[in-house]
Structure 1
Amino acid sequence: MNPKKLIAVGLPMIAVTYGLSRFSYGLMLPYINETINMDQSTSGVISSLSYIAYCIAILFAMVFSNKITPKSFLVVAGLSSIVGLGIISISFHPVVLGLGIFLAGLSTGISSPPYANIVSTNVETRFQNQTNSWINSGTSIGTASTGAIAILMTNSWRETYLIFMIIAIFVLIVNYKVLPKHQSSERKGTVGYSKKEWRHSFQLIIASFFIGISCSAYWTFSRDFILNLDSVPTYLGEWFWVIIGVAGLLGGTAGAFIQEFGLVSAYRLSVLTISTSSLILGIHPGNNITGFLSPVLFGSSYIFITGVFIVWGISVFKTNPAFGLGIPFLILALGQAIGSIISGVVADISGYYILFIGASIIGYVTLVFKPKVN
């Protein structure tokens, strides 16, 4: 299959499941709170439901990757996204909102591993890293689109989620028509769980977990923080998500960067950048330059580091690309789920400044790890 054609359908699906269905909550939270009054702890718990759902879904996708066709997985992912977004749009209580967030979050975990399998069996080896990285950058497109639609719709968050649902329906139809129809669901040989591979995955797992904790504060509370800073222009807060998303397109170069400079250099650069984005919010967020620089650094580095995790994971678990992608993304989401709850509590007790400084320190600690492959 032509890599460009696969990117053309895979990138929008990831945009829907990650950008619209999962990370949009942090963007829409200030507006949702005007209708459904929640404290920061409750907001953090609801945010964690998306990550918990992701963990459940990606485990399911990994376990059954050899038994269910990738296309079937993606149909389920699309339907989950559509239903979840619809429930969010009619939410009147935190419990109902949490249900919608959970269902939408399921779509994210189900959508990523199938593309890894499709790429591994339908794309030439030399193009696989770049194809996976560009599909993964769909998160940035979804984030930017979410921000732009939210600005156009002002405070109409319910109608915004209805628009997201319509987009999800369209993207699902396109994927259904374009993706390979008769790809075998059976893969020969082992499924990639050797002791050697597990030993080599240890640093990947720990790094993914702590990066998840570190970036969860940013995804959940950064925009709310910026909007409440009197020293930062309102337009910067309104366009905050768009800046993150547009900057995320730079993350699509992860595959090419790894090809040129190596996995270790790519990992260290991304950790430094994503941790610094949180540090800026914690120590000096109150002017135009830093208020703009922080989301640029975060958006580009988040997509970049997830691209690094994809290449790292697939390089470790060579015999099962879906499992290799699933492991770091699962652990990343687990860290984000725990981090969202902790972030809400820390924000309530100590405020946003301490929260973002603490998040950056956790991120910097992961520089001690070094990608190691078979």
Structure 2
Amino acid sequence: MFDKKLIVVGLPMIAVTYGLSRFSYGLMLPYINETMEMAPSTSGVISSLSYIAYCIAIVLAMVFSNRIAPKSILVLAGFSSIIGLGIIAVSGNPGVLGLGILLAGLSTGFSSPPYADIIDKNVEIKLQNQTNSWINSGTSIGTALTGAIAIIMTDNWRETYLIFMVIAMVVLFANYKVLPKNQTLKENVKAGFSKEEWRRSIPLILSSLLLGISCSAYWTFSRDFMLQNESVPVYLGEWLWVLIGIAGLLGGTAGAFINKFGLMPAYRISVVALSTSSLLLGTFTDDIMIGFLSPVLFGSSYIFMTGVLIVWGISVFKFSPSFGLGIPFLILALGQAIGSIFSGVIADLSSYNVVFVGASIIGYIALLFKRT
């Protein structure tokens, strides 16, 4: 039964760290820009800080996974989220905003690997893929929640981030009470990884990098693009994040799908759907049905894809679940940092349409890779 308790607290923590602390920036960007009047290139650089912070934190979480108990790392994730969200709320210029985004971004890197270790120690093997997938789907809950709150709060983005901070406090307290006490750390974990494991991880690393670059434009600029496009109804732009989040719940089925049909079929389906969502956004924005289909495809396929990467990574690095989850997520975030910067520059030089079409092409290239 502990798998259910773990999902009950783990899913909200991922919702806070990923949805509220990290991806909410793209949602709130139109309102923040009304206050700070940033160029797309500046917005892209600030967005990249979240991904860079994620990379730093997830490396630290993996390195210290055998020295610091998972629960302690998760508490650190909660505090970095709370502090970062508070700074964002009071920021008066891009520099302070960037600091808040950076600190909030640390929480995402600290939050994912510990759950993989806790699941490995406390959940029976046949339920581990599904438990990992459902906790990972917390991103979609957080995304939908940020979208709904933003609609209610309209352009009061500072107050919105204060609400996010309070939610983060509640979720941190729940995790502290429910998660198992700091368990004995593994003493027999291998000091390193074999050449065979690293060789088998190459397709996973390249896939994660390309998919990170591909999806970064959608997370950062999709809502701003929809709200600026006069041919798209305003309500569609306003509800975009909610659509993405609700659709993301479908991604929680990744573990069950993999158990029944295999890892590679799940991977290919998620990559095709994810890449197609960007292609549709960049080429068919005048069609209302396509306008709805694109975020639904993106939300469901992104969560599904990250669930696939978790299972793929753990299957490669079997002796360290936190490392198996951390490597693909680290490279995914690195790709997102690179993609955010280049997407902003390309948007300055050309248009959002070019950005999204280019992002889809990069995503389709990831289909060339498979597990070895």
Same fold (TM over 0.5): yes
Q: Deviations over 1:212-246 (max 9, x none)?
A: 00000000000100111111110110000000000
Equivalent in the alignment of 2:226: 226
Residue 287 of structure 1: CA displacement?
Answer: 2.5
Distance, in Å, in 1 between the alignment partners of 2:191 and 2:363 is: 32
Question: Corresponding residue for 2:216?
Answer: 216
Cross-structure match for 1:179: 179
Instruction: Name the residue aligned to 1:5.
Output: 5
Give the Cα–Cα distance (whole angstroms) in 1 for the partners of residues 161 and 184 of structure 2.
35
Cα separation, 1, equivalents of 2:150 and 2:352: 23
Find the counterpart in structure 2 of residue 242 from structure 1: 242
Larger CA deviation: 176-185 vs 242-251: 176-185
Give the CA deviation at 1:371.
1.9
Distance in 2 separating the partners of 1:100 and 1:185 = 32
> Matches of residues 334-345 of structure 1 in structure 2 within 5 Å?
334-345=334-345
The aligned residue for residue 54 of structure 2 is 54
- Which residue in the other structure is 1:294 paired with? 294
Does the aligned pair in 1 maintain the 2:266–2:308 contact within 8 Å? yes
Q: Secondary structure at the match of 2:22?
A: coil
Is 1:159 matched up with 2:159?
A: yes
Deviation (angstroms), 1:192: 5.5
Residues 132-163 of structure 1: per-residue CA shift (max 9 Å, x gap): 00000000000000000000000000000000
Q: Which residue of 2 aligns with 1:358?
A: 358
Query: One-letter code of the match for 1:324?
Result: G
Match of 2:322 in 1: 322
**What amino acid is the match of 2:161?**
Y
Matched with 1:105 is: 105
Secondary structure in structure 1 of the residue aligned to 2:193: coil
TM-score between both structures, scaled by the size of structure 2: 0.99
Distance in 2, Cα, partners of 1:6 & 1:220: 30
Q: Is the 8 A contact 1:217 1:340 kept in 2?
A: yes
Between the aligned residues of both structures, percent identity stands at 73
Counterpart of 2:270? 270
Secondary structure class of the residue paired with 1:38: coil
**Mapped partners of 2:182, 2:274: distance in 1:** 40
1:15 counterpart residue number: 15
For residue 189 of structure 1, report the CA deviation from its aligned partner: 3.1
Question: SS at the partner of 1:201?
Answer: helix
Q: Partners of 1:192 and 1:16 in 2: how far apart?
A: 32
Partner of 1:75: 75
Q: CA deviation at 1:187?
A: 4.0
Matched with 1:88 is: 88
Paired position in structure 2 for 1:201: 201
TM-score (norm 1): 0.99
Contact persistence 2:211–2:335 (CA under 8 A): yes
Instruction: Say if 1:192 and 1:323, in contact at 8 Å, map to a contact too.
Output: no
Contact 1:264 1:370 (C-alpha < 8 Å) held by counterparts:
yes
Partner Cα distance (1:103, 1:154) in 2 = 25
Q: Is the 8 A contact 2:223 2:240 kept in 1?
A: yes
SS at match of 2:318: coil
Give the count of matched residue pairs: 372
Letter in 2 for 1:27: L
Paired with 1:129 and 1:286, the residues of 2 have a C-alpha distance of 39
d(CA) in 2 for partners of 1:252 and 1:67? Answer: 30
1:186 Cα deviation from its structure 2 partner: 3.0
Contact 2:208 2:335 in 1 (8 A): yes
Shift of residue 191, structure 1, vs aligned partner: 4.8
Distance 2:6 2:189 in 1: 26
Contact 1:274–1:297 (CA under 8 A) maintained in structure 2: yes
Match of 1:170 in 2: 170
Please report how far the alpha carbon of residue 285 of structure 1 lies from its aligned counterpart in structure 2 after TM superposition.
Answer: 1.1
| Deviation readout 1:17-59 (Å, 9 max, x if unpaired) | 0000000000000000001110000000000000000000000
- Distance across 2 between alignment mates of 1:36 and 1:210: 31
Q: CA deviation at 1:193?
A: 1.5
Counterpart of 1:332? 332
Cα offset, 1:280, TM superposition = 0.2
Distance 1:67 1:194 in 2: 21
SS at match of 1:182: coil
Paired residue type of 2:235: Y
Structure-2 residue corresponding to 1:279 = 279
1-side partners of 2:7 and 2:134: how far apart?
7
Aligned partners of 2:147 and 2:185: how far apart in 1?
A: 37
**1:371, 1:293 → 2: CA distance?**
30
Q: 2:25 maps to which residue?
A: 25
Q: What SS does the aligned partner of 2:67 have?
A: coil
* Equivalent-residue separation in structure 2 for 1:299 and 1:360 (angstroms): 15
Q: In 2, Cα distance between the equivalents of 1:187 and 1:24?
A: 39
State the one-letter code of the partner of 1:112: S
Asked whether the 8 Å contact 2:71–2:182 carries over to 1, the reply is no
The residue aligned with 1:114 is: 114
User: Deviation at 1:2?
Assistant: 1.4
- What's the CA shift for 1:282? 1.1
State how far apart, in whole Å, the 1-side matches of 2:138 and 2:207 are. Answer: 23
The answer for unaligned runs of 5 or more in structure 2 is: none
Q: Deviations over 1:259-312 (max 9, x none)?
A: 111001000000000000000011111221011000000000000000000000
